[in-house]
Amino acid sequence: MAVKKPGGLAGIEAGSTAISTVGKDGRGLTYRGYSIEDLAEHGSFEETAYLLIYGKLPNIDELTNYRKKLGEASRLPETLKRILELLPADAHPMEVLQVGCTALGTMEPETASRTTADLADRLIALTGPMLLHWYHFHRGTIKDIAAPPSSKPEPAEAAPIVLTADTDEDVPSESQLSAAASQPSSASQPSVNSKPQQSDPQEYDYNNYTVAGHFLYLLHGRHAERLAIRVFDVSLVLYAEHEFNASTFASRVTASTLSNYHSCIATGIGTLRGNLHGGANEAVMELITSFETPEEAEEGTRARLAAKQLIMGFGHRVYTVSDPRSDIIKKWSETLSLWAQDSQLYAISEAIEGVLRQEKGLFPNLDFYSASAYHFMGVPTSMFTPIFVISRITGWTAHIMEQRLNNRLIRPSAAYIGPDNQAWADVHVRF
């Protein structure tokens, strides 16, 4: 087992929270007392978001109304579209989200009549549309996908498993998956960074709105397969909240100065972007696609470790035994790899995991298998960390609210290690 170094506030209790527990017994995770396993298996992202923001699981009426509220909130204001269109095509997607979030704050600021929960719901619903509007605008693909089509759309091309965006059906069985895996591939199969088709979009069915289904619909210009929606939804549940991680802590620091809601979230986005935190899921994708075979991956990983390089998607500040979210997303990544008829990527990922366990006693964190899962759904790599944002807005919001309820400015002390007793020198005589 790797030894933890001092510094970085490691092991310091920097406050208290009633929102989640991380790493009890080295491995567990709960949101408001509910295990991550239950939430990911039985719940949905909307239920998780409601739990975090409103403090309880919604009943059926509350959930229906909540989905309706999010669906209605998911239409981009025209001014925001114009602002996003002005951003460069090669801007970093996380900066696009920071700008979008801050711009929204100027148009719909926090007021007494707009609660923090309202602002959060609006942002959860709009983050995907903001990103995808900017993305499609610059690629010249699917001009304004959220607008109703002018004529009746053609039915979508058949997928290996034809699934609808209905929310009540079960995901495909293992036998369906094996059958699908033996079929020849079709044009609608997931392929990373494939150019979205220039097509007359289907009208989105807002009666069945889910954050996951809406994102994939806006990305691909058609309703996604049920399996993809399910796994995307699970990933949002897993990414939603994680106690005093760096981006949440940064948001709480901003909240503690009595700053406004959108500034707290923009702080979180900026902090999440780095490769040691949320940015790791994109770095993982670069790593696993740099290898052609599992054998090459094993050899290459050993070489990187020998060169003292970090392997992205491994290790964790708090978990010491395992990251429970990784076990969940790993299973889904394996299922998706069958569905996408992947012959190498999942095996390459497992080969890397084997080396890290053997050589360093390190386990994968949530970011490692999330990368291949998103890839199999046809999500471009540059959107992996922005998707993390959509989900983590819920956790950030819960913490901003908690901080505000019992606020004291967060301002620690530092041990001074610089020089003392410096003699003043005039500007003209300084070296």
Ligand X SMILES: CC(=O)SCCNC(=O)CCNC(=O)[C@H](O)C(C)(C)COP(=O)(O)OP(=O)(O)OC[C@H]1O[C@@H](n2cnc3c(N)ncnc32)[C@H](O)[C@@H]1OP(=O)(O)O
Binding mask 309-348 for ligand X (x = CB under 6 A): -xxxxxxxx-------------------------------
Least distance between ligand OAA and beta carbon 250 (Å): 11
Catalytic residue set: 316, 367
Q: What is the DSSP string of 37-96?
A: HHHHHH--HHHHHHHHHHSS---HHHHHHHHHHHHHHTSPPHHHHHHHHHS-TTS-HHHH
Binding mask 263-302 for ligand OAA (x = CB under 6 A): ----------------------------------------
278 lies in the binding site for ligand X (CB under 6 A): yes
Among 366, 373, 383, 390, binds ligand X (CB under 6 A): 366
Give the span between the Cα atoms of 248 and 230, in whole angstroms: 26
4 lies in the binding site for ligand X (CB under 6 A): yes
Least distance between ligand X and beta carbon 277 (Å): 4
Q: Which residues contact 242 (CB under 8 A, 6 or more apart)?
A: 20, 22, 29, 248, 395
Among 30, 245, 349, 403, binds ligand OAA (CB under 6 A): 245
Least distance between ligand OAA and beta carbon 368 (Å): 11
Q: What is the DSSP string of 317-349?
A: SS-SS--HHHHHHHHHHHHHHHHTT-SSHHHHH
Binding range to ligand X, per CB under 6 A, among 28-36, 116-124, 173-181, 358-366: 358-366
Structure tokens at 323: 């990251």
The residue among 251 and 372 lying less far from ligand OAA, judged by its C-beta, is 251
Give the span between the Cα atoms of 140 and 348, in whole angstroms: 34
The residue among 235 and 365 lying less far from ligand OAA, judged by its C-beta, is 365
**Cα-flanking dihedrals φ and ψ of residue 50, to 5°?**
-60, -45
Give the span between the Cα atoms of 98 and 268, in whole angstroms: 9
Among 242, 252, 273, 399, binds ligand OAA (CB under 6 A): 242
Q: Which residues contact 302 (CB under 8 A, 6 or more apart)?
A: 355, 359
23 lies in the binding site for ligand X (CB under 6 A): no
Binding site for ligand OAA (CB under 6 A): 242, 245, 317-318, 365-366
